[in-house]
Every structure is written in structure tokens, then in C-alpha cells.
Structure 1
Amino acid sequence: MHTPIQPPASAPAEPAAEAAAQANGPAPAAVSSAAISGTGLALGLILATVALDAIGIGLIAPVMPQLLDSFGLHHNLALHAGALTALYALMQFVCAPALGALSDRFGRRPVLLCSLFGSSLDYLLMACAPWLSLLYLGRAIAGISGASGSVAGAYIADISDESQRARRYGWLGAAFGLGLVAGPVIGGLLGAIWLRAPFVAAAALALLNFALAWLALPEPKRERDPQPRPAPSLRELAPWHSLRELGRLPDLAPLLWLYLAMQLAGQVPGTLWAIYGHDRFGWNPTAVGLSLAAFGVIHSLFQAFATGRISDRFGPGKTLIGGVISDVLGYLTFAFARSAATLAPGLLLAAGGGIGGPALLAMSSERTDEARQGALQGVLASLASLAAVIGPLLFGAIYVAGAGHWDGWVWVVGAALYLPCVPALRKLLRGSRASAADAAPADVAAAG
């Protein structure tokens, strides 16, 4: 902290100095107001960027099967669709930690700008791709540039103090979730006009993101190493390097494992909701789409409006535990539901579980020094991408194996993923109680 130099106590204050002090008196308030205004603008731009990026991702989902069919892949359609999805997730797994580490070294703004500009060029490439190989190349580039979510998460950590992070990460998750809900709807409408129109729209949204960030997004102020670090080597940009370095922090490692379990569990509905709805309830595609849209909206509302309130009241640790419990109860409800009436409470419980993710992000950020926030967000994004590669294969196999006997096993397995994390959750609960006990004497002393 910089301490202002004060004049010696024995030195009399001169009239000019007194006048200057009086004249400069309101300056701190003005600076504070400007800082708050600047932070609000930066936060709004980051949320808008994440929402538009999610819309761009969702835009192309409805037309991907028809686009693959246009290349003559009638018999191998599912194989190529799965390969393109896995390729996107794999590139995010590899590149998210690298972008996070580069943003720690060179700044959030330049890395974010490069990612957004790369996304716009990539969507244009896919809009014009005459060969399947270019479509694969485009999905690989999209995975690289789409890993900018780790930089956005680090930006939120830079402009937020510890008491604000859970609430703002909730807003970040809500912005992304609402974008994913809106994207397929818009993409379906545009795809009915022209098969490649969603790619053009996605490129336009990426360019809009780029323009907003270029014109109005500042580089956040944050703590940096006193000695400038050299540019990261290729070894340091590998995903396992940051994971190994951060995993050595004793308070952070359990949260990383819990985050991986949370992301794996989230792959169950993402992979099997349509099949589950058709097999158990006889839903048509419209019913599946409406149920997914309802879940996405409710999930986003919980993250946007409930996370901050609950975290302020009970703390991030208890908020995280509450989210896990709500998620588990929701999955068990899905396992045993026999009608839409009994399924509805499960949707609410699973959506309520969305408060756990932002709380976990806030706790992870608190346990990582300011100079490595980008690396942390990159590792978290990489773990999410790893879950997106493993989860569909794992849960698809479990569903097929159990469908002949009972199709609820996959939900039970998804809920059971949290069992290995029980020791970490108990430790978090004890830590929350200890923090509350430590805070009580300070409150009494302040009152006295």
C-alpha cells in the first residue's frame, strides 16, 4: 500500500497549502465515484460479451446435422457430429489454461480481443467452407478462440472484491446460460432461411463483441509481480502445468476436484435429456425443447438473483454445499419421476443447484493469488472441457447398459459423483463455522 508523505508535525501549515487541501478535499469521493462507474461499465461489457459469445455458440447447433448431411454424410452423421463436438471440447481443454496464463502475463484485454477477432474469422470460414476438412478446422479454431471464457472469469476476479465475487460469478453464469437458451432459437429461425445463415450471424456477433471490447473495455487494475516475468514457455502453457501448480495449493485442490465432479454431473442432462424424456414420458422434440428452455431460464434466474443473496447471508461455503445438495436431490427426483407433475420439483431442485457453481468460483478465486487468476480460470475451463469429452461417452454407455432394466441408473450415478467430495464438503462446512465463530467476537467488540 502506498502511504502519502506527510509534512513534519512541527512544520506550520501555510495558507496556500491549506487552500490547496480544501480545494482538493472532494477529490477522493470523485475518484471513488469514477472508479465505481468504470467498474460497472466494465462488468456490463464482460457480461454482454459472454452472453453474445454464448448466443454465437448456440446459433449453429440447430443446423449442424443438416450441414453435415449436405456433405453427403448420411450414414456417418452421428459419428461426425460427435467428433466435431469432442474436437471443440478438446481444443478448449488444451487452450483455456494457455489463454488464462497469457492474460496473466500480457493483460486481459489484448487476449480477449484476439480471441473475439479469431472467433469472427472462424465463423466466416465455416459459413463458406466447401469441404468437410475446413469444417473440422473451423471447429478446432472455434475451440481455441472460445476458450476466452477463462479470461472473462479472471476479469471478474480482477474488478471484484471477495464479498462481490459469488454474486458476480452468478451473473456471469446467468448471462452465459441465457445466451445458450436464446442462441438455438435464433439459429433455428435463421437456418430455415439459409443453412449457413447462423454462421454469418455468429460472425457478426463476434465482431460486435470485438468492437465493444475495443472501444470501451479497459484493462483492469490488478496486482502484478514486482519483477516482470518472461513470456510463458510452451511447457508452461500446457494444461497439466497450471493444474499441477495450482493443485499443490492445499486449500484449492479439493475445490478443483469438486468442480470436476460438478461438471461431470452436469453432462448427464446435457447428453441424455432428450432421450430420457422420449423413453420415459413419450415427449416429442417440441416438449424436449420447451423443457430445456424452461430449465435454462430458471437456472439462470437462480444464478443471477439467488446466488448473491444466499452467499451474503450464509457465506460461499454453505452456498456451495446447498447447491450440491439441491443438485443431488434433483437428480434423484429425475431417477424416480413417473410423470411431469413429479418431474417439476426435480427441475426446480436441479436449477437451484446452479447457485453452487458461482460460490465455488468465488472460493477458488479467494484461495489463489492475484497474479494467477487467469491461470486459475483457465484450469477451471479446462476441467469443464475435459468433463465435456468424458461425460457423454461415460453416461451414454451407462444409459445403454441400464436401459433394459431401469433407465434411472444414469441419474443415480450422476448424483453419486459427489460422494468422493464429501470430505472436502465437510471441511468447507467446518471452515464456515470457524469463520463465523471468529467473526462473532469482532462484532461484539465493534458493538461495544
Structure 2
Amino acid sequence: MSFIMITVLIDMVAIGLIIPVLPPLVGTFTAGSQADQAFWFAAVSFAFGIANFFGSPVLGALSDRYGRRPVLLIGFSGLALSFFVTAMATALWMLIAVRLFSGAMQANAAVANAYVADITPPEDRAKRFGLLGAMFGMGFILGPVAGGLLGEINLHLPFFVAGTLALMNWLYGYFVLPESLPVERRQTINWARVNPISSLKALSQLKGVGGLVAVIGLSALAQFILHSTWVLYTHFKFGWGPKENGLSLFAVGITSVLVQGFLLGKLLKIFSAQRLAVLGLLSSSLCFALWGAASEGWMMYAVIFCNLLGFSAAAAIQSLFSNAADASAQGATMGAMASLNSLMAVAAPVVGGGLLTLVSELPKGHWLIGLPYYFCALLQLAAMLLALRHFTRERARKAVLAGGHAL
């Protein structure tokens, strides 16, 4: 577990470095209005998401066939190349092209989750996924704040640093990281099922959890709208720059590590994974509404630190899917979930960027600039209601089966 946690930490620090500076970098090529900047940043984000949507199921299936380690190494190579090319880009088409390449090559999060499933008994997976989530959070502590500070020096500098970290991770993976999937548990690739449509269909047919696919989709769409609009939203509403955005994402990382690394195990002793998922989605819905309504920058921090349950929902839902999947198909299952997330990542820049474009010319501090986050609040609320309905039906179904067996 320690090996994969270090791998994920380095990976997320590298990715986190570029978050505060990618939107301003896109802005250097537009030289137009804030609406132009929002549109082209959405286009760059769309390129990564659409490539990752098609690539994730394939890479997940490859990890079930050849092991997790080789596929992780492919992802690190793609990331390193994409960071260096982005740093040296001289035109928008270069940014879009390299994000397409990076999206197709990168399924690191899905493969890392499959790695954890390989080495963890089902009853401990929610807690272990939480530890892995804490490493994602730690990456968001170290990466964005460093990226914001480096971006104040030069917008291109964080990309060179991120590329160097990705290369370091490749070396760590090649020489240190052990393989988690034994040869006897590997399976041949069914190419008819590795396209994203088939993989999502298989995900929806997992016994006992298939009905949660829509919950994952709605919640992921809200999260990716947050990712794709945060930097521009805070700039439009509060006038924040790379440093302020880096510090705000530092706060997100701190809270994520606190919840997933330390509190999640205690929460799972109080609540079941199902109940924790419902409460987390409700907390996230309230959180998005408050972010949208915030009139001062400090309020964004207050909401982040109040959303403790919201950071636990993803690990709880992920453990339910992992436990429902066969041991030899963890890569395919996590790849399918990554593909669904990528589909939402494709839609998010279009939806979030479109909503933000509509309000981008309003004066700083106007309440309506929060329109993307009001929409996200509705998405999380809908996800919560669907999850509640699914768990209620599952309990009723199991009760009927138990009664039948008793007879």
C-alpha cells in the first residue's frame, strides 16, 4: 500500500502544479475577452476528457491482462511528454493536441484504484480507497500552491517542474514499484467489451450497484464543473490570481487529507458505506450552493472546511463497486468508472464554461456569477435522491429474498 500511495502522491503533485496556471496560459493565446478565455480553456479541457473517455477502458483492460505496473508507466510517460510540450507551446492548437495525447495515454487514477483492490480484502476497501484519496488530497496541498507560487515567477515554469516530477515517477515505478496482480489472476482481453459504451453497460449490470451509475455520473459532472471553472470563477468574482487560487486549492487538499486519511475510518464505524454516500452527496449539494452565493473570498474557505462529509462520498461509492466486481476484473471495472468520469469531464467544460461565459461580463462580486455552482448543487441533490432510492430498493429486495429463503 505504501508503494502505490507514494506513486499517486507524486502523480497528483505533478498534475496539481498546473491547475492554477493552465487557464492563465490559455489566456495568453486568446488576447481577447474573458468570454474568449473561458471558451478556449473549455476547449482544451474537452480535448483531454474526450481522449480519456475512449482510452480509460482500454488501459484498464490492459492492466487486467499485463498487470498494473506497465500501464502506470505508460501513463507517467504520457504525462511527462504532455507537460513539457505544454510548457513550450506557441499556439492554442498545440495545447489542444497535447491534451488529446495525454488523455489517451493516462488512466493512472483508475489503475491505482485497481492496484489497491488487488491487495485489499473487500471489507477494508472503503478505508483503503480513502487513504488513496488522501494522497490525491495531499497532491492538491503541495501541487496547486507550488504551481501558484511558481506561476507568479513564470507561467511556463510549473509545467517544466511537473514534467520533471512525472519522469521521476516513471523511474520510481520502473525500479521500485512492485506488481500487484499475480499472473494467475490475469485475464485475456475481450476487445468487444473495452469500448466505452460496452464498459459502461457492464458497469451498470454489476449486481447490487448497477443503479448507482447515474449517481456517479451526476456527482462527477458536478465535480468536473468545479475543476474546470474554479480558477476562472474566482478570478471573475473575486479577482483572484494564480497565488490565491493555489492557496484555495491547498485548503481543499488539507480538508481532503483530513477526512480521507484520518476521519473516514472512524466515520465508517458510525455509518455504513451506503449511508455515508448519501450524507456526503447532501453535504456536497449544500457546499456548491454556498460557493455560488459567496460574496467574499474568505467564504470559499469557510465552505471548504465545512464540507467534511462531502469528501467521503466518492470513496464509499467506489468501495461498493469494487466489492461487487470480480477479482480478475478490477482493472476493467475501475477503467469503466474512469471512462464515465472522463465522459463527465468532456461535458463539464462545455456546461460549466457555457454557464460561466453567460455571466463572465457581470461586475465582480455579483451573485449570479455563481450560476455554474448553483447548477452543481442541483446535480449533487439529484445524485443523493437517486442513491437514496437505490439503497431503499436494494434493502427491500434483500428483505424479500431473505423471506423467501426462510419459507
2:346 corresponds to = 389
2:261 to 304, 310, 316: 304
**Superposed displacement of residue 355, structure 1:** 0.4
Aligned-pair CA distance for 1:224: 5.1
Cα offset, 1:135, TM superposition: 3.8
Which deviations, in whole Å up to 9, do the C-alpha atoms of 1:250-300 show, x marking residues without a partner?
4232222111111112234334445655676x4543655533432332133
Which residue of the partner structure matches residue 65 of structure 2? 105
For residues 161-203 of structure 1, the C-alpha deviation after alignment (integer angstroms, 9 at most, x for no partner) is: 1222111111212211221342233234444555543333222
**Does the CA contact (< 8 Å) of 1:299 and 1:354 recur in 2?**
yes
Matches within 5 A, 1:285-300: 285=241, 288-300=245-257
Is the contact between residue 277 and residue 283 of structure 1 (CA under 8 Å) also seen in structure 2? yes
Alignment correspondent of 1:415: 377
- Alignment of 1:269 with 2:226, yes or no, is yes
1:353 aligns with 2:313: no
Distance 1:353 1:420, change over 3 A: closer
1:55 aligns with 2:18: no
Corresponding residue for residue 248 of structure 1: 205
User: In 2, Cα distance between the equivalents of 1:68 and 1:398?
Assistant: 19
Once structures 1 and 2 are overlaid, which stretch shifts more, 94-103 or 216-225? 216-225
Query: How many Å apart are 1:105 and its aligned residue?
Result: 1.3
- Does residue 96 (structure 1) correspond to residue 56 (structure 2)? The answer is yes
Contact 1:103 1:151 in 2 (8 A): yes
Alpha-carbon distance change, 211 to 395 in structure 1, aligned in 2, over 3 angstroms = closer
Query: Structure 2: how far apart are the matches of 1:267 and 1:221?
Result: 30
1:199 lines up with 2:159 in the alignment: yes
Give the alignment's Cα RMSD to 1 decimal: 3.4
Amino acid at match of 1:56: A
Deviations 1:69-113 (A, max 9, x none): 66x542465544332221112211111111111111111112112
- One-letter identity of the residue aligned with 1:88: F
1:29 alignment partner in structure 2: none
Measured after TM superposition, the shift of residue 375 of structure 1 is 1.0
Q: What are the within-5 Å matches in structure 2 for residues 337-376 of structure 1?
A: 346-376=303-333
Say whether the 8 Å CA contact 2:134–2:257 is kept in structure 1. Answer: yes
Residue 329 of structure 1: CA displacement?
2.7
CA contact under 8 A between 2:39 and 2:354: conserved in structure 1? no
For the pair 1:151 / 2:111, whether they are aligned, the reply is yes
Provide the rounded CA distance (Å) in 2 between the counterparts of 1:186 and 1:264. Answer: 27
- Equivalent in the alignment of 1:172: 132
**1:214 and 2:174 are equivalent in the alignment:** yes
Deviation at 1:368, TM superposition (A): 0.8
User: Aligned-pair distance for 1:341?
Assistant: 7.7
Cα deviation, residue 154, structure 1: 0.4
The residue type paired with residue 377 of structure 1 is M
The letter for the 1-side match of 2:10 is: L
Query: Does structure 2 retain, via aligned residues, the 8 Å contact 1:96–1:148?
Result: no
Consecutive unaligned residues of structure 2, counting only runs of 5 or more, are: 400-407
Question: Does the C-alpha gap of structure 1 residues 283 and 188 become closer, same or farther in structure 2, counting only changes over 3 Å?
Answer: closer
The equivalent of 1:330 in structure 2 is: 287
| Alpha-carbon offset, residue 225 of structure 1 | 6.1
Cα distance change on mapping 1:188 and 1:290 into 2, 3 Å: closer
Shift, 1:432, TM fit: 7.2
Q: What CA distance in whole angstroms lies between the structure 1 residues aligned with 2:150 and 2:291?
A: 33
CA distance in 2, matches of 1:367, 1:310: 22
How far, CA to CA, are the matches of 1:409 and 1:288 in structure 2?
19
Alignment deviations for residues 123-164 of structure 1 (CA, whole Å, 9 cap, x no partner): 344445566544433222221233221111100111111222
- For 1:413 and 1:131, the matched residues in 2 are separated by 33
Answer with 399-408 or 249-258: which moved more: 399-408
Q: Do 1:60 and 1:199's aligned partners in 2 also have CA atoms closer than 8 Å?
A: yes
- Mean alpha-carbon deviation: is it higher for 196-205 or for 398-407? 398-407
Structure ranking higher on relative contact order (CA contacts 8 Å, 6+ apart): 2
Change (3 A) 1:223 1:312: farther
Moved more, 147-156 or 210-219: 210-219
Query: Is the Cα–Cα contact under 8 Å of residues 222 and 370 in structure 1 kept in the other structure?
Result: no
Inter-CA distance 435–129: structure 2 relative to 1 (3 Å threshold): same
TM-score, normalization by structure 1: 0.75
The answer as to whether partners of 1:329 and 1:349 remain within 8 angstroms in 2 is no
Q: Bigger radius of gyration, 1 or 2?
A: 1
Q: For residues 215-234 of structure 1, what are the structure 2 equivalents within 5 Å?
A: 215-221=175-181, 229=188, 231-233=189-191
**What is the letter of the counterpart of residue 416 of structure 1?**
L
Secondary structure at 1:328 match in 2 = helix
| Residue among 83, 94, 98 paired with 1:123 | 83
Q: Identify the residue that residue 13 of structure 1 maps to in structure 2.
A: none
Identical amino acids, percent of aligned pairs: 33
Taking structure 2 as the reference length, what is the TM-score of the superposition? 0.82
The structural deviation recorded for 1:319 is: 1.6
Q: Distance in 1 between matches of 2:202 and 2:390?
A: 22
Residue 373 (structure 1) shift = 0.8
Q: Is the 8 A contact 1:116 1:206 kept in 2?
A: yes
C-alpha distance in 1 between matches for 2:139 and 2:117: 21
- 5+ unaligned residues in a row in structure 1: which ranges? 1-42, 437-448
